[in-house]
Structure 1
Amino acid sequence: MFSLSDAQTITDPVLRAQIEQHPRAQELLRAFLYPYAAPDHDFLFKAGACEPVAQGDIARLAHGRIPVLAVGSNRAPVQLSRKFSHQNLSDAILVTHGWMDHHDIVYSAHMTGYGAIPATLAPSPGTKVRVAVTWLTANQLSHMHVTESVPTHYSYQQLHGGDIELDCGLMPDHVGAYQSVAWHIFDHNNVFAVSAIQAQGRRFKAFHQWDMIAYLARRAGYVMQPKFVLRLIDDPTLRKAVAAWFPLK
């Protein structure tokens, strides 16, 4: 659940007021606030809450786990809670943070059923982007595949860990990653970085989620208003038609 105070992060005052006053504010916040607030330090997600983790405990907690990049909402406690708190998966999830060279986190060229444009990883020579790594059990990974709609929306790949430097000092040889099947190229060969994710030497124009939704609305001939997003949520046919404005690979 989101607090209405979370809407204060939306920089458009008119849009912010519309969301705060809307009876479906929770659904709107879920769309507009993606990829959601997250700690910028290592933590243990357990029983729906974040716990601090001592540096000396990280290697032990990661032992036997599968490292998987979390480039979008999977690094956020609110999303981990939505995905795992009601499952029969009681094991905690270790989340570590670091930097990845020569990549950026950008918007995928597809839409979620809850109205957000999600994230994916893109090559970006010279860019260093802030990333999170979730350390999952085999059962957790299997469930994460379901929540990521593998293989319909994302493919699960193994990336070499050499480009990743974690704050805790762990150095996985490989990390799993969910890569968008729809890719990340928009019209006129534009690539848009996720402004909520910190990066150095960023080459792509960075947008907030609400900027991306407004961009999509304009391209499809709609006015950017909360009711537009709610129509996308409620009507899969319309969502598919609007997403058709995304270019092909």
Structure 2
Amino acid sequence: MFSFSDAQIITDPVLRAQIEQHPRAQELLRAFLYPYAAPEHDFLFKVDACEPVKQVDTVRLAYGRIPVLAVGSNRAPVQLTRKFSHQNLSDEILITHGWMDHHDIVYSAHMTGYGAIPATLASSPGTKVRVAVTWLTAKQLSHMHVTESVPSHYSYQQLHGRDIELDCGLKPDHVGTYQSVAGHIFDQSDIFAVSAIQAQGRRYKSFNQWNMIEYLARRAGYVMQPEFVLRLIDDQALRTAVTTRFSIK
């Protein structure tokens, strides 16, 4: 659940007021607040709590687990709770943070069923982007595949770990990543970085989530309002029609 204090991240006061006053405010906040607030430090996710993790404990907690990049909402406790709290997967999840060279986190050219335009990883020579790594058991990874709609929306791939430097000092040889099947190139070869994710030497124009939804609406010939997003949530056929009009496969 989101609170109205969470909505303060939305800098457009008119849009923020429309969302706060709407009877479906929770659904709208889920769409507009993506990729959601997350700790900047390493932490251990539990269904009922998140605990900071000391550097000396990360090796023990990561042992035997599979490192997987979390470039969007999978680094956020609210999303991890939504994905894992009802799956009888009671094992904890370690989340570590670091930097990745020559890449950026950008918007995927598709929309989720809950109305957000999600993130994916893109090559970006000279850019250093802040990343998170989730350390998953095999069962957790299998369930994560389901939540990421593999293979219809994302493909699961392995990347060499050489471009990643984690704050805790762990050095995975390879990391898994979910790459958007729709790609990340929009009309006129535009690529948009996720402004909520910190980066150095960013090459691409950065947008927040409501900027991206406005872009989607404008390119598809609609006016960006909360009702537009709710229509997309409720109508999969409309959502598909709108996104295929601005994406380039």
TM-score (norm 1): 0.99
Residue 43, structure 1, aligned to residue 43, structure 2: yes
**Do the aligned residues in 1 keep the contact of 2:219 with 2:246 (CA within 8 Å)?**
no
Residue 182, structure 1, aligned to residue 200, structure 2: no
What is the total number of aligned residue pairs between the two structures? 249
**Do the aligned residues in 1 keep the contact of 2:47 with 2:84 (CA within 8 Å)?**
no
Aligned-partner Cα distance in 2 for 1:48–1:82: 12
Q: Which residue is equivalent to 2:64?
A: 64
**Do the aligned residues in 1 keep the contact of 2:110 with 2:247 (CA within 8 Å)?**
no
Structure 2 matches for 1:105-144, cutoff 5 A?
105-144=105-144
Aligned-partner Cα distance in 2 for 1:48–1:96: 19
| TM-superposed deviation, 1:49 | 1.9
| TM-superposed deviation, 1:55 | 1.4
SS in 1 for 2:5: helix
Post-superposition CA distance 1:115-166 (Å, at most 9, x none):
0000000000000000000000000000000000000000000000000000
Q: Which residue is equivalent to 2:159?
A: 159
Aligned-partner Cα distance in 2 for 1:38–1:124: 24
Where does structure 2 lack aligned partners over 5 or more consecutive residues?
A: none
| TM-superposed deviation, 1:4 | 1.2
SS in 2 for 1:30: helix
Aligned-partner Cα distance in 2 for 1:239–1:97: 33
Aligned-partner Cα distance in 1 for 2:234–2:6: 23
SS in 1 for 2:117: coil
SS in 2 for 1:245: helix
Where does structure 1 lack aligned partners over 5 or more consecutive residues?
A: none
Q: Which residue is equivalent to 1:146?
A: 146
Q: Which residue is equivalent to 1:210?
A: 210
SS in 1 for 2:114: coil
Cα RMSD between the aligned structures? 0.6
Q: Which residue is equivalent to 2:80?
A: 80
Q: Which residue is equivalent to 1:9?
A: 9
Aligned partner letter, 1:64 = G
TM-score (norm 2): 0.99
Aligned-partner Cα distance in 2 for 1:141–1:111: 22
Aligned-partner Cα distance in 1 for 2:246–2:73: 22
